[in-house]
Amino acid sequence: MAQQATAGRRYLRVFVSGFFVAVPITVTVLDRFAYVARVEGASMQPFLNPEGGSDCDVVLLNRWSVRNYQVQRGDIVSVMSPRNPQQKIIKRVIGLEGDFIRTLGYKNRFVRVPDGHFWIEGDHHGHSLDSNSFGPVSMGLLHGRASHIIWPPNRWQQIKPSLPPNRGPLDTEEDEG
């Protein structure tokens, strides 16, 4: 009986010590490398949440890939909302610093994206709170890049950068000619 009590304490000690090692490692991985996020709402339809309703896509957000603020046009990114720092929003990068963008309802028809900023939009125009509402977004608000849709299982796929038709930076040579 004494052996069982000693073995039980040993297992408890191993479990507790493993727990105190696993928790900091898990927090570090989630903070530095990647985590999952549920995409709610219609702003990224039809690419994300194509069915609408209560069926929400779940994406893997890669934090490691944006550690040096390196994003490209067409990436789907998670940023802290410029309007509500407690909220994260997921949008598509349309323009990078220095790009000239034709806006969709912003106060200026054309905008040059300032240094250290980028232009983001939801795929479902008119149902998206994005740069057309609040302007260029600071790179400092960048939180992660969506790399895969991981739920529901029938939609599992890698997310590759792509721009919607007629979106993206203006070709300045073309506009001048």
Q: Is the residue at 40 inside a domain?
A: yes
What domain range is 54 assigned to? Answer: 34-158
Check if 91 is active-site.
Answer: yes
Domain count, the chain: 1
Q: Sorting pLDDT into bands at 50, 70 and 90, what band is 71?
A: very high
Domain contains 21: no
Question: Is 59 inside a domain boundary?
Answer: yes
Least confident of 13-27, 60-74, 119-133: 13-27
Is residue 174 scored above 50 in pLDDT? no
pLDDT at residue 91 tops 60: yes
**pLDDT beyond 90 at 111:** yes
Domain assignment present for residue 87? The answer is: yes
| Bond from prior residue into 50 cis (ω within 30 degrees of 0) | no
Residue 44 lies in a domain: yes
Distance CA 55, CA 106 (A): 31
Question: Does residue 6 form part of some domain?
Answer: no
Q: Which of 121, 117, 76, 71 is nearest to 98 (CA)?
A: 117
pLDDT at 175 over 60: no
Residue 162, Cβ density class (10 Å: 0-12 exposed, 13-18 middle, ≥19 buried): exposed
Each residue of 26-68: pLDDT tens digit?
A: 666 666 677 888 898 889 998 998 887 777 899 999 988 787 7
Contact 132, 109 (CB under 8 A): no
88 is catalytic: no
Q: How high is the pLDDT of residue 3?
A: 65
Q: Is residue 54 part of a domain?
A: yes
Residue among 43, 128, 131, 147 flagged as catalytic: 43
Mean pLDDT confidence for 17-22 = 71
Q: Indicate which CATH number applies to the domain containing 56.
A: 2.10.109.10
* 3 inside domain: no
Structure tokens at 160: 């590759």
pTM: 0.79
Angle at 38 between CA 166 and CA 31, to 5 degrees: 100
Does residue 54 or residue 82 have the better pLDDT? 82
Catalytic residue (one of 78, 91, 131, 147) = 91
Find the Cα–Cα–Cα–Cα dihedral 6, 7, 10, 15, rounded to 10°. -140
